[in-house]
């Protein structure tokens, strides 16, 4: 699964629902978090917007605790309602891994590759990595997702 590289020329600001998790508890935390997000007002107010899953606040690396924010792109000065969080995906170089299929399989498989077999792991920045889902391509049984990992 070779990545394509791209240069994000400007910061991207996401407003979303946060959860603190780790590699040890992600298999339980993340599906429950997705359910909360899809039932939230934020998801309902932006039914056609791309959905972002942003991984940030890394304590160390992929093995340590981190925060996941599920949300949508907003203006940098958008208000932050109670219970939500604004997170910035910084401009810079990213490695993109594209996948399509059942969400429970392709997303985990892609991250397992990024955190395991991918030879670019030593170049990861661990600032803000993200998944981008096109809402029109999201169903309970199939997604098209780009996993973008910040690299130096």
pLDDT, one tens digit per residue, over 8-66 is 999 999 999 999 999 999 999 999 999 999 998 888 888 889 999 999 999 999 899 99
> What is the rounded CA–CA span in Å between residue 56 and residue 33?
15
Distance, CA of 4 to chain centre: 17
- Per residue in 59-96, pLDDT (tens digit) is 999 899 999 999 999 999 999 999 999 999 999 999 99
Spatial CA neighbour of 37 closest among 5, 12, 14: 14
Q: Quick one: pLDDT at residue 45?
A: 83
Q: Quick one: pLDDT at residue 28?
A: 95
Q: Quick one: pLDDT at residue 48?
A: 86
3-state secondary structure (DSSP) of residue 118: coil
- Per residue in 86-145, pLDDT (tens digit) is 999 999 999 999 999 998 899 999 999 999 999 999 999 999 999 999 988 888 899 999
Between the two ends of the chain, the Cα-to-Cα distance in Å is 20
3-state secondary structure (DSSP) of residue 123: helix
3-state secondary structure (DSSP) of residue 116: coil
Q: Whose structure tokens read 């940030």?
A: 56
Sheet harboring 12-21: ordered strands across? 4-8, 92-101, 143-150, 128-133, 51-56, 66-73, 12-21, 85-89
Spell out the domains of the chain, with CATH numbers in brackets. Answer: 4-150 (3.20.80.10)
């Amino acid at each position: 699964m070779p990545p394509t590289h791209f240069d994000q020329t400007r910061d991207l600001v996401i407003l979303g629902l946060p959860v603190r998790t780790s590699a040890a508890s992600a298999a339980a935390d993340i599906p429950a978090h997705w359910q909360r997000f899809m039932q939230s007002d934020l998801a309902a107010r932006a039914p056609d917007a791309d959905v972002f899953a942003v991984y940030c606040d890394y304590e160390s690396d992929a093995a340590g605790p981190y925060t996941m924010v599920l949300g949508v792109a907003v203006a940098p000065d958008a208000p932050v309602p109670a219970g939500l969080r604004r997170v910035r995906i910084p401009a810079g170089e990213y490695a993109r891994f594209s996948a399509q299929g059942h969400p429970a399989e392709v997303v985990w498989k892609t991250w397992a590759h990024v955190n395991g077999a991918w030879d670019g792991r030593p170049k990861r920045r661990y600032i803000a990595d993200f998944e981008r889902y096109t809402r029109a391509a999201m169903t309970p049984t199939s997604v098209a997702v780009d996993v973008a990992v910040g690299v130096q």
